[in-house]
Amino acid sequence: GENVEQHPSTLSVQEGDSAVIKCTYSDSASNYFPWYKQELGKRPQLIIDIRSNVGEKKDQRIAVTLNKTAKHFSLHITETQPEDSAVYFCAASRNDYKLSFGAGTTVTVRA
């Protein structure tokens, strides 16, 4: 099955700086890569996703890049704000149905 590895496990950044989270996947047939944000005690919420026919996607301060050849994808958050503090999960899927998640990255934005 799919194996998704995520790094780093924790990330502390100064407010206004950028944050980058990286994930690798094992199944070359995976074609859908969503990113979820989960605040303490709350549900995972989709913040951005990318499909394998696209190399980069941006939504305001959030961007995701995908390198199919290397089988890795990354989340970039620019101009971080305190409300960006949360756990972020990457995931990969070959058919939009079964999502295989990384272990998560706890992001702390220091004011």
Partner 1 sequence: EAGVVQSPRYKIIEKKQPVAFWCNPISGHNTLYWYRQNLGQGPELLIRYENEEAVDDSQLPKDRFSAERLKGVDSTLKIQPAELGDSAVYLCASSFGGRGYTFGSGTRLTVV
For the bound state, the minimum distance from the C-beta of residue 38 to partner 1, rounded and expressed in Å, comes to 9
Contacts of 24 (CB under 8 A, 6+ apart): 4, 5, 70, 71, 72
Q: Does 108 bind partner 1 (CB under 8 A)?
A: no
Under the binding rule (CB under 8 A), the answer on residue 89 touching partner 1 is yes
First to last CA, the chain: 41
Closest to 88 measured CA to CA, from 35, 14, 11, 15: 35
Q: Which of residues 1-60 bind partner 1 (CB under 8 A)?
A: 4, 6, 34, 36, 42-46
Of the two residues 3 and 18, which places its CB atom closer to partner 1 in the complex?
3
What is the C-alpha R_g of the chain? 13
Which residues contact partner 1 (rule: CB under 8 A)?
Answer: 4, 6, 34, 36, 42-46, 89, 91, 95-104
